[in-house]
Amino acid sequence: MISIVVPTISGREHWLERTLHAYHDTTPDYELIVLRDRVTAGIAWNEGWKQAKGDYLHFTADDIEPHAGWWQEGIKWIERGILPAPRVLNTDGTLQSCGDDCSEQETGTPTQVARIPFCSREQAECIFPIIENHYCGDYYFTWKGRQCGWPSLVVRDFVFTHHLVNVGRLNTLDADWAAFQRAKRSIRVEK
């Protein structure tokens, strides 16, 4: 079973409904953990991790839609000890990211960030809790996973659309990036 953790806030109900339908249409055995009106996505992901009962855990958002085959491709790489980094598309189908930036990368390319994190329960137990910022939780997830021995590689067939909905979007990216950098310096990961 896959535990799918979805933070959401008031005003984004339409997007949440689209997201939930997309997961329903592409994922056979899953539990949804929808966390409403948490202060940040990091807080919601940490709470979802504590509630999750699945063998695999997936941390997403209310404006993200998976493409068919996402979980099969993700699990294939997780079972190899890899944290899969997805190919993320904009609403119009153009590339938003593929690994570290917005250029196309080949499957197997090393990356510093596994956006829209997906992992096994064992990996989650090593990686979580993550920083409680709104942004950069995926960077922290990837960094801590690497410290535990799980590199992140681009997986082109692990695909999502991210609609980048502006309703309620926080303007804390710079501060969250600085907090992520401080967290990396201050945390010693035990293997």
- Domain boundaries along the sequence of the chain: 2-186
Q: Is the dihedral of CA 105, 108, 113, 114 positive or negative?
A: positive
CB 168 within 8 A of CB 12: yes
pLDDT at site 72: 98
Q: Is the dihedral of CA 51, 133, 79, 93 positive or negative?
A: positive
pLDDT at site 191: 43
Nearest to 110 by CA among 153, 144, 76, 143: 153
Domain 2-186 matching CATH 3.30.420.40: the answer reads no
pLDDT at site 181: 79
Amino acid residing at 111? T
Mark the ranges of the chain whose per-residue pLDDT is less than 50.
Answer: 190-191
